[in-house]
Chain A
Amino acid sequence: MITRRIFSAAAAGLILTAWLRPEAGAAESPEEAQKLVKQLSDDAIRLLTGKDLDAAARNLRFRELLTKGFDVPAMARFVLGRYWRDASEPERQEYLKLFEDLIVTTYAQRFADYQGESFKVTGAQPEDDKVVLVQSHILRQGQTQAIRVDWRVLRTDNGFKIVDVVVEGVSLSVTQRSEFASVIQRNGGKISGLLDALRSKTKELQSAG
């Protein structure tokens, strides 16, 4: 039975989905991408996990770290996949905004119940000439087996930016892409169907969180 590991893995990775602070000047080597992921996780734990932080403040800080450390527009485009090309310009703009909102509402409040999971960067290697794969382990309290989380870090003109998080071999972007594609297909191939679903999901998560 593999379900147990999948689920604990997927979510624990999501909980520590990290936030990188680009250092001055473009980082050049896998070692630097590695340091940035480390820095980011430190920042996330330091700035986001406070129990006394209210929801709005946590969301704000999260969004700040997110947009600094991740190339959110690149992720959004990857996740929309081939439908990006079909989308009109207003649809694209609306989608980019809704995508970022969804990430913030999905993950920001997870840091409120951070329970001392330990995060360790274990290595880094280039995946190709643009992407560095930074490997890390997350160990939950009371567990013996660490969860394997890889970070796809893209070299951009503004330094390294994370574009994907891979938890136990499961890419969050790929998973999200199949969900989004499925929603579009079930809405007769219309992007507007996805935009509606994003809006109502974000609202639902906000009222629940």
Chain B
Amino acid sequence: MPIALRRMCPLFASLLALALLAGCATRPTQDDSENDPLEPVNRNTFVLNKSIDTFLIRPLAVTYRDLVPDVIKTMVSNFLDYIRTPIVLANDLLQGDFHHLDITAQRFMQNTITLGLGDPATQGGLQAHDADFGLTLASWGAKEGPYLVIPVVGPSNVRDGIGLLVDTFLDPITWISRTDSRAWMGYTNMVSRLVVYRADSLKDLDQLEAQSLDFYAGMRSLYRQYRDGQIRANNPKQGGASPTYYELMSPALTSDTPITSTSSVEQ
């Protein structure tokens, strides 16, 4: 069994247990229902992740941003996207999304010419898109389940946590690197992704944290809304329309006074 997978088994078991426990999952639109029964545990993991970030990932990301030439950075990002293709392809297929399946396949073939280091496909008008098994589960009607902060990975939920594990199984790199002599490939892939994504979000994430009154709660809300939006975009029929401003508004407000001093909203 691949090393990464062997390591993930306890995580998988606990996620599964959580999934079974998680009967009720709500849309992240109701006031105050953050669907976070594990908040005390999650907050601890959040602090742990923050430390890992402060002492390991962030310094690596800063070094990467400052020392690596932009040309190389673009190549690295292209290559990481390129070797993720099997996961995207598999999930496009599992979602029955043949339009994106076709684009993903064409992109892969065109970018192979550059060994995945360039991205002629995007220049030719084939936009990249991402797919993962969490979204696939959602397209099959799975609810998000309780919010989870996964060590190292960050914000997630039971559905997306299971999705991450399945994506790891779908990833050829997991299987290629399953012998000890090639384990470095798996680790390199994992660490590069963390560092590159972190490098891309250095300023933004710092700003978000600086302006935040409760960074944990802010990230939780951000994650849930973002995933909800992705799911709606993927399945316009199933997802339904995005909630409107008035649907998002606390019932305590709509039943109370008009929303603005200046408008004449009747509720």
Interface residue A2 (Cβ < 8 Å from any Cβ of B): yes
- Give chain B's interface residue range (CB within 8 Å of chain A): 35 or more
Footprint of A on B, CB under 8 Å? 29, 31-32, 34, 70, 122, 127-128, 130, 132, 154, 193, 196-197, 200-201, 203-205, 207-208, 210-214, 216-218, 220-223, 225-230, 232-233, 242, 244-246, 248-253, 256, 259-265
24 contacts between A and B (CB under 8 A): A1-B193, A2-B132, A2-B230, A4-B196, A6-B222, A8-B200, A8-B201, A10-B208, A11-B207, A12-B204, A77-B253, A84-B253, A157-B263, A163-B245, A170-B226, A174-B221, A175-B225, A178-B218, A178-B220, A178-B221, A179-B214, A179-B218, A182-B217, A197-B213
Q: B residues within 8 A CB of A154?
A: 245, 259-260, 263
Closest to A82 in B: B252
Interface residue A50 (Cβ < 8 Å from any Cβ of B): no
CB contact between A130 and one of B211, B242, B246 (< 8 Å): that residue:
B246
Q: B residues within 8 A CB of A168?
A: 226, 229
CB contact between B262 and one of A78, A158, A164, A182 (< 8 Å): that residue:
A158
A94 to B95, CA, bound (A): 50
Between B31, B226, B232, the greatest number of chain A beta carbons within 10 A of the residue's beta carbon is seen for B226
Contact status A182-B244, CB under 8 Å? no
Q: How far is the CB of A14 from chain B (nearest CB, A)?
A: 7
Q: B residues within 8 A CB of A175?
A: 218, 221-222, 225
Contact status B256-A170, CB under 8 Å? no
Contact status A169-B230, CB under 8 Å? yes
Q: A residues within 8 A CB of B29?
A: 174
Interface residue A42 (Cβ < 8 Å from any Cβ of B): no
Between A145, A158, A163, A182, the greatest number of chain B beta carbons within 10 A of the residue's beta carbon is seen for A182
**B-contacting residues, A81-115, CB 8 Å:** 81-82, 84-85, 106, 110
Closest to B211 in A: A106
**B-contacting residues, A113-129, CB 8 Å:** 127-128
Contact status A1-B253, CB under 8 Å? no
**B-contacting residues, A152-179, CB 8 Å:** 152, 154-158, 161, 163-164, 168-171, 173-179
Q: How far is the CB of A5 from chain B (nearest CB, A)?
A: 8
A7-B205, A82-B32, A179-B213 known; A171-B253 Cβ under 8 A:
no
CB contact between B226 and one of A1, A144, A169 (< 8 Å): that residue:
A169
Q: B residues within 8 A CB of A56?
A: none
A190 to B200, CA, bound (A): 38
Q: How far is the CB of A150 from chain B (nearest CB, A)?
A: 9
Contact status A4-B197, CB under 8 Å? yes
Closest to B233 in A: A169
Contact status B223-A6, CB under 8 Å? yes
A82-B31, A156-B262 known; A10-B222 Cβ under 8 A:
yes
Q: State the 10 A-B residue pairs at the shortest beta-carbon distance, nearest first.
A: A169-B229, A11-B204, A7-B201, A182-B217, A82-B252, A81-B250, A178-B221, A156-B263, A7-B204, A74-B260
Q: A residues within 8 A CB of B248?
A: 78, 171, 173-174
Q: How far is the CB of A107 from chain B (nearest CB, A)?
A: 8
A40 to B201, CA, bound (A): 27
